[in-house]
A = this chain, B = another copy of it.
Amino acid sequence: MTAAANQSGRRPTTSRRLERAGIRDVAAAAGVSITTVSDALNGKGRLPDETRSRVREVAERLGYRPSAAARTLRTGRSGLIGLTVTTYGEEPFTFTEFAYFAEMARAATSAALGRGYALVVLPASSRHDVWSNIALDGTVVIDPPDQDPLVSELYRSGVPVVSDGKPGNCPVTAWVDNDHEAAVLGILDHLSEAGARRIGLLTGTSTDTYTRLSTEAYVGWCQRVGQEPVYETYPAHDPAAGAVAADRLLARPDRPDAVYGLFDPNGTDLLAAARRYGLRVPDDLLLVCCSESDVYAGTEPPITTLSLKPRRIGTTVVNLLIDAIEGVDSGTGVDIARLFPPRFRTAGTGPPPGTLMPTELIVRASSQRRSPRTTISPPRPPGEV
């Protein structure tokens, strides 16, 4: 009864100290209604400037901070965007693992911030009770595996989802990806022009879109030009396995005279392997790898790299997501169409709209037998930005 008595009764005037000031406190202090306070602070309603500034001043003086939870509950908007990152194995997870993801995440964070949203890091292996307990306005998913239960459920419960990497079976609102096929074909053509007769590939064992599309493009190209595919695979998340695989590739009886490595450290690994086998680069072996690192400008020789432009991807993904969040009022997903110019959309009604971003091939000494040119344009640049 003692404590209970305090609790009943509509806020006993001025009890409960030590608590943060609420909108009611501001209203009382300013001698207006809470409606007026809300309107004044949010720039709504019809109020003379004088009232507005007076309320603002009182709120400031009281150190008033609106409750994010209450606002979210009422408005249905939290200002939070999930950043779903892939996990390898049990506890640790990528993101910050490869330069690509790190850059992409940074760009995404900045872009979200610029539009008033914050990012919640959400490992794909998160316990269900954790992420289902967060009010998300939308989710960015990095490189979704074929059947991601987290993504599926989010999508099903009406949360917009935009993925970096063309999704397999996951339903998503939209997706952004590099034109991996065009990129690989461009590299293979580039190596051919430089005199390669048998081009090898260093690729991964995982089933993500990047690995799959790139490898398929390679195999297809081989069929077309009549070359037997020469490739080695390894688990990309294992840093030590890459060096071993590079070694395997160069140890083959049908040793390639040019190699493209799909992952960041492949350049260093291949260079080391070539040295072990006494192969000169680029004279005996042409080299290209996919990397965002500029250390390859300083290696001996400098190595040609393919940049996936992660900043651009991260920015685009977030902007598409926020467009979807803010463009669709609620419930019916009608005017998503507006967001995607026809040229970016795939087919009519079926698959979600996707955007292909161009890559950039940075040509250095390792892939040329002639005099080096500088940066050249990517093959088939599909988009703007």
Residue numbers of A with Cβ under 8 A of B are 18-20, 63, 65-73, 76, 78-80, 83, 91-93, 95-96, 102-103, 105-106, 109-110, 113, 116-123, 126-127, 129-135, 156-158, 331-332
Contact = CB atoms under 8 A, between A and B. Distances in A.
A326 to B, nearest CB: 15
Given A18-B331, A73-B67, A113-B126, A118 B134 contact: yes
Nearest to A105: B96
Nearest to A91: B110
A95 to B, nearest CB: 7
A110 B157 CA distance: 25
Given A73-B70, A157-B65, A116 B129 contact: yes
A110 B135 CA distance: 20
A110 B92 contact: yes
A68 B102 contact: no
B106 A102 contact: no
Contact of A135 (B72, B76, B113): B72
A67 B92 CA distance: 29
28 contacts: A18-B331, A67-B73, A67-B135, A68-B132, A68-B134, A69-B69, A69-B76, A69-B135, A70-B73, A72-B73, A72-B135, A80-B134, A92-B110, A93-B106, A95-B106, A96-B106, A102-B102, A109-B121, A109-B123, A113-B127, A116-B127, A116-B130, A118-B121, A118-B126, A118-B131, A118-B134, A120-B121, A121-B121
Contacts of A132: 65, 68
Contacts of A127: 113, 116
A109 B97 CA distance: 14
Contact of A113 (B109, B130, B332): B130
Contacts of A78: 68-69, 134
A218 B95 CA distance: 35
Nearest to A71: B133
A112 B123 CA distance: 11
A130 B96 contact: no
Contacts of A69: 69, 72-73, 76, 78, 135
A71 B73 CA distance: 9
A65 B331 CA distance: 16
